[in-house]
Amino acid sequence: MGKRSAKFNDQGNMSRQSKGSGVAQSVTQDQPDILSEVGKAVTLNCRYETSWDMFYYYIFWYTQLPSGQMTYLIRQYSDAGNARDGRYSVNFQKAQKSISLTISALELEDSAMYFCVLRAPQCLK
């Protein structure tokens, strides 16, 4: 039986300027497509810039399926230890403004486009 591989792409770049607030955020994912084997692990990297250094924020990881549907995977709170949820874990380096997502025990269904998203918490009134 031949090896089965999964393809990963995390080249999604997102940036956001909040109107009137003078607060700017940007997220960069500059890895090319990654090829790996079923059952192995893969790590996707993300760097970000934010002027929220004095505030709390979240970084979310999503995957986009071939249908275009976005699916939530895991989130990291800026003042918490590294998040882990099932096969997904993150290595968060706040001082370096970087975060990586590791997916273990890869499945063919993991082949997708991956995005990291930076977001400030919202206050509900």
For the chain, how are helix, strand and coil distributed in percent, rounded to 5?
0, 50, 45
| The model's pTM | 0.75
In 3D space, the residue among 96, 102, 95 whose CA is nearest the CA of residue 116 turns out to be 102
Report whether pLDDT(6) > 60.
no
Which residues touch 83 (CB under 8 Å, ≥6 apart)? 74, 75, 76, 77, 89, 90, 92
Please give the residue that has the higher pLDDT: either 18 or 96: 96
**pLDDT value at residue 54:** 62
Region label for 86, one of left (φ > 0), alpha (ψ between -120 and 50) or beta (otherwise): left
Report whether pLDDT(49) > 80.
yes
When pLDDT is averaged across residues 16-29 and rounded to a whole number, the result is: 50
Spell out the domain ranges in the chain: 5-17+24-119
CATH number for the segment(s) 5-17+24-119: 2.60.40.10
At 34, the pLDDT band (50, 70, 90 cuts) reads confident
Most confident segment among 27-41, 57-71, 84-98: 84-98
When pLDDT is averaged across residues 3-31 and rounded to a whole number, the result is: 49
